[in-house]
Amino acid sequence: MRVPTSAGDRKRVLAITRAFNREMHKSQRLSEQDKARCISAVCRFVEDPAVPGLNFEKLGGNPDGNLWSLRASQELRIILAVDHERYIVANAGHHDPMYAWADRHKFYVDPETEEIAEFFVSVPDVPVSLQGSLPIGDQTGPRIPLREAQRAGDRSPDVQQLVSRMFLGDFEEWALFLHPDQAPLVKQRWTGAARVRGAAGTGKTVVGLHRVAELARRYPQERILFTTFSRSLCEILERRYPRLQHAPSNVEFANIDAIVYRYDARWVDSSLASKAFDVAYRQSVAGSPLEHLGKEYLREEVERVIKGNGLPDLDSYLSFERLGRKKSFPQEVRKRVWELSAAWDRELANLKAVRFVDKRIRARDVVQASAPGSYRCVVVDEAQDMTLVEMQLVRALVAGAPQNPLPDDGVLILDDAAQRIYAGGYRPRWAGLEIAGRSQILKRNYRNVPAIYRAAKRIRGDVLVAAVDDDDGAVIDVEFDLPGGERDEPVLFLVDRKGESPLIQEKIRELTSGGDFNYNEIAVFVRHNRQVAGFMQGFKNGRIPCAQLKPRGMLGNGVRIGTYDRAKGLEFRVVFAPCLGNTQFPPTSKSDGTALQDIDNANSHEFRLLELDRLYVAMTRAREQLFLTADEAPCEEVRRAFGEEVVLRDIRNRA
């Protein structure tokens, strides 16, 4: 917020860069005492820049430079960038490193590219003796120190409280920050469909959120839809959306299954669907060459490939590109799998049961038969986890029948092939979504300190489960918005048996005891719901507030505990990823009990890649600190990150 000024009462607004706020928030470069001195110095500066001892002075001999220094103590310096309207706190630290930093930068903080938070507090004008080369215009009129202005009725908040909040407070509003580099994507006018892809933390979801608001303003009399696979993510974004400035009301948030239920309200009994599959499996697979593939893999083949792509007959399946499946299927194998699918259909009919995949196909068909579509535009987040049928449904929600053209701005796809957590895949053009020439890549990471992203990428590896378009070659390399610092590297703790929960509780107490972190800013992500239950009980026994991540989002207050899949779209200051011992991650058997050594290498490889994708998603939820734990030697993918990316702390037998 800019404070109006006049020639007779010239003041500048106090501001801070997001990068510096994060660095100070972690309290790693400066001790608590040093930080308190910095806060005190800024408070004194806000009240009167001429106060003795601050030594406010311009740095360097460059007349075009805008960096000034502030003395917080004999050893501490604060670097400010000064422009026409603001004093921007850009850096702080010990004397020599700060002067070296300033010498490298010369001119810092371009309002068009740097993320700045401005505060409702104004700073008196620079004293005449310090004006120097500052282009600050008319300097006539008296300077009014802030404390005197407050006595005169100024409603600005208490300086000490405000500056402390600026340095130490919660910057939740950054979850809605749109970087100027991303603004063109929000304002862009596209013909038909378009795609924005980007690695974890590059702001795809924020772009999507601002995009639906822009589309709602562009088409005020029509309905705009934001959808995704995850119900919890959709509900979180729906709560966040009204915080956007001038957020129109003609935007709707609904995950894809909620939309499906509108067109097919049949009840899904998952236990009956599983029972029918077991019968079909015994009839069609038991004792056959397909048995070595494993029950789970074959069920995925039916649900994610045959049904997920809406294949109507055997001939379609025989010629279909099974995108994302690492095991090649010759014709004879496909015929047998088709027999399994048909047998499952028959058993479902006998039980009068239905699967979610059936409901999605039916909803797609109903919407495709309608004209026109229900929405003017749709934005699809986390689209890499959708099936072809679901993307066909998305298109139909806008255009109706497949032969109908998409209107301008019809569908925006937001995705990242490296974060796929479900089997299979599709290409946008299969759904009638032509994106050639209308695809953009986000390459700047705004969420993670560099060490966290590098560790997650190293553990995950570069191999993609499914490349959905020609430009999907590998995991996207990123540039970093947050600065790297000492002790940023994720830490892997090796602990004694059953020692993971006690260690994590101990670390959480350390983090929260000083007041720098609160419980809601910390998350624990594991692979299985049974592991979630175990940590929930352990935390309750240890009297640490905790809340489970459910399909409907975060319920209650406390440390968030959930599965990797529930981590989608979320972010926390601190993340713990336990249970990474080599017999726990990746698991040695599938959820159906099939041992990995009993299935072929291609099947096992695909399963392992998807598990690593899930872990990658969980690790990249951490903004500032990431802790991994294991009560045995970890898997080879985690081990390969030891050293430069991950710090190993073996605390076994420490008692």
Is pLDDT above 70 for 37?
Answer: yes
- The whole-model pTM stands at 0.73
- For residue range 391-407, list pLDDT tens digits in order: 999 999 999 999 999 99
* Apex 76 CA angle, 70 and 78, nearest 5: 35
CB 545 within 8 A of CB 557: yes
Query: 3-class SS at 52?
Result: coil
Q: Which residue's structure tokens are 């004999």?
A: 74
CB 394 within 8 A of CB 431: yes
Q: Half-sphere exposure (CA, 13 Å, Cβ side) for 570?
A: 32
Q: What's the average model confidence in pLDDT over 482-496?
A: 82
- Span 479-650 CATH architecture: 3-Layer(aba) Sandwich (3.40)
CA distance linking residue 616 with residue 634, whole number of Å: 15
Strand 224-228 vs strand 116-124: parallel, antiparallel, or unpaired?
unpaired
**Strands across the sheet with 116-124, in order?**
57-58, 67-71, 76-82, 86-94, 11-17, 116-124
- For residue range 584-629, list pLDDT tens digits in order: 888 765 555 555 555 556 677 888 888 999 999 999 999 889 999 9
Confidence of residue 97 (pLDDT cuts 50, 70, 90): confident
Residue 308: what residue type? G
CA distance linking residue 23 with residue 30, whole number of Å: 9
Q: Which residue's structure tokens are 């020609």?
A: 470
> Would you state the pLDDT for residue 284?
93
> Would you state the pLDDT for residue 230?
86
Question: DSSP assignment of 510-558, as one string?
Answer: HHHHTSS--GGGEEEEESSHHHHHHHHHHHHHTT--EEEEETTEE-SSS
Helices (H) and strands (E) in the chain, counts: 20, 22
Is pLDDT above 50 for 85?
Answer: yes
Check residues 370 and 163 and name the one with the higher pLDDT.
Answer: 370
Residue closest to 40 by CA, chosen among 5, 65, 76: 76
Is pLDDT above 60 for 29?
Answer: yes
Is pLDDT above 90 for 188?
Answer: yes
Residue closest to 611 by CA, chosen among 630, 638, 640, 593: 638
Is pLDDT above 90 for 191?
Answer: yes
Compute φ and ψ for 450, nearest 5 degrees.
-55, -40
Check residues 497 and 130 and name the one with the higher pLDDT.
Answer: 497
Is pLDDT above 90 for 168?
Answer: no
Query: 3-class SS at 266?
Result: coil
Q: Point out the least confidently predicted range of 97-106, 242-251, 422-431.
A: 97-106
> Would you state the pLDDT for residue 166?
52
Task: Give kind and range of the element (H or E) at residue 650.
Answer: strand 647-650
CB 80 within 8 A of CB 116: no
Compute φ and ψ for 547, nearest 5 degrees.
-145, 135
Whole-number CA gyration radius for the chain: 28
Q: Point out the least confidently predicted range of 131-140, 148-157, 169-178, 412-421.
A: 131-140
Is pLDDT above 60 for 642?
Answer: yes
Counting Cβ atoms within 10 Å, is residue 7 exposed (0-12), middle (13-18) or buried (19+)? exposed
Counting Cβ atoms within 10 Å, is residue 304 exposed (0-12), middle (13-18) or buried (19+)? buried
Counting Cβ atoms within 10 Å, is residue 239 exposed (0-12), middle (13-18) or buried (19+)? exposed
> Would you state the pLDDT for residue 49?
80
Query: 3-class SS at 612?
Result: helix
CA distance linking residue 319 with residue 334, whole number of Å: 10
- Cα–Cα distances (Å) from 609 to 328, 452, 464, 564, in that order, read 16, 20, 8, 14
Angle of helix 270-284 versus helix 331-351 axis, rounded to 10:
130
Residue closest to 328 by CA, chosen among 600, 593, 607, 608: 600
Is pLDDT above 80 for 576?
Answer: yes
Counting Cβ atoms within 10 Å, is residue 571 exposed (0-12), middle (13-18) or buried (19+)? buried
Q: What's the average model confidence in pLDDT over 523-529?
A: 94
> Would you state the pLDDT for residue 150?
35
Is pLDDT above 50 for 78?
Answer: yes
Q: Point out the least confidently predicted range of 109-123, 131-145, 287-301, 453-467.
A: 131-145
- Return the DSSP state at 589: B
> Would you state the pLDDT for residue 59?
85
47: tokens are 């009240």
Q: What is the CATH T-level fold of the domain 11-169, as seen in this structure?
A: YaeB-like fold (3.30.2310)
CB 303 within 8 A of CB 355: yes
467: tokens are 């490349």
Question: DSSP assignment of 79-140, as one string?
Answer: EEEE-SSEEEEEEEEEHHHHHHHHHHHSS---TTTS-EEEEEEEEEPPPGGG-TT-------
Compute φ and ψ for 300, nearest 5 degrees.
-60, -40
Is pLDDT above 90 for 330?
Answer: yes
CB 339 within 8 A of CB 301: no
636: tokens are 């080879």
Angle of helix 500-513 versus helix 529-541 axis, rounded to 10:
60
The mean pLDDT of the chain is 83
Question: DSSP assignment of 167-232, as one string?
Answer: HHS--GGGGG---GGGHHHHH---SSEEEEEE-TTS-HHHHHHHHHHHHHHHSTTS-EEEEES-HH
CB 467 within 8 A of CB 324: no
Residue 9: what residue type? D
Q: Does domain 180-264+358-446 have CATH number 3.40.50.300?
A: yes
CB 450 within 8 A of CB 200: no
User: Over the range 380-394, which residues count as b (16 or more CB within 10 Å of their CB) and which as e?
Assistant: bbbbbbbbbbbbbbb
* Apex 191 CA angle, 188 and 197, nearest 5: 60
Confidence of residue 315 (pLDDT cuts 50, 70, 90): very high
- For residue range 226-263, list pLDDT tens digits in order: 999 888 888 888 988 988 878 899 999 999 999 999 99
CA dihedral 218→220→222→225, nearest 10 degrees, is 70
CA distance linking residue 242 with residue 126, whole number of Å: 39
Strand 522-526 vs strand 553-554: parallel, antiparallel, or unpaired?
unpaired
Query: 3-class SS at 473?
Result: coil
CB 248 within 8 A of CB 217: yes
> Would you state the pLDDT for residue 655?
59
CA distance linking residue 287 with residue 282, whole number of Å: 9
Give the percent of the chain with pLDDT over 90: 47
Is pLDDT above 50 for 134?
Answer: no
